Amino acid sequence: MQCPFNKSYLDERPLYPVSGTTNPPSDDGSSPRITLLRPFVYFGQTYNYIYVNQNGHLTFNAAWNSYTPQRFPMHGPRDFIAPFWTDLDNRGNGHVYYNQYTTGSVLQQATQDINTHFPGLNFNANWVFVATWYEVAYYPNSGTVSQHSVTDLLQKHIS
């Protein structure tokens, strides 16, 4: 399959590394509670923990197994980030990875990416959390390989 820029979609490299701690294979599962290396402020609320849920979302107070996307805003007590919210199942194939970075090339790349797209921000990442749903199939097709690799990026700004 060709993209408009004459490169194969399969030749595209992920935005950030597809590596890290792996969630166990499951349908509607989650990571254990992950202690963040830096506090994360999200809509005025400070969080020190996060969960990477199998169904394409991140939550802060508890794991969540919801697989049916809903319209935002939901007006509920749950803050979450939903980069790939759908019914996923990685029991047959695919992996859900997560990793945190406080030094190195990922921080440099995140800083460059944000400043490229938001030139007036003067952004400088000192922490990046990456969650990737890599080749995870939609339920009930757990034996198929999807070509989706979605990476969510949380970044902390140095004032």
Instruction: Please give the full DSSP string across the chain, using - where no structure is assigned.
Output: -B-TTS-BGGGPPPSS---SEEPPS-BS-BPPPEEEEEEEEETTEEEEEEEEETTTEEESSS-----S--PSP--SS--EE-SS-S-EE-SSS-EEEEEEESSSHHHHHHHHHHHHHSTTS---EEEEEEEEEESPEETT-TTS----EEEEEEEEE--
pLDDT > 70 in the chain, percent: 76
Which has the higher per-residue pLDDT, 76 or 49? 49
Question: Is the model's pLDDT at 71 over the cut of 90?
Answer: no
- Residue 10: predicted pLDDT: 43
Model pLDDT for residues 98-151, shown as the tens digit of each residue: 999 999 999 999 999 999 999 999 999 999 999 999 888 888 765 655 544 344
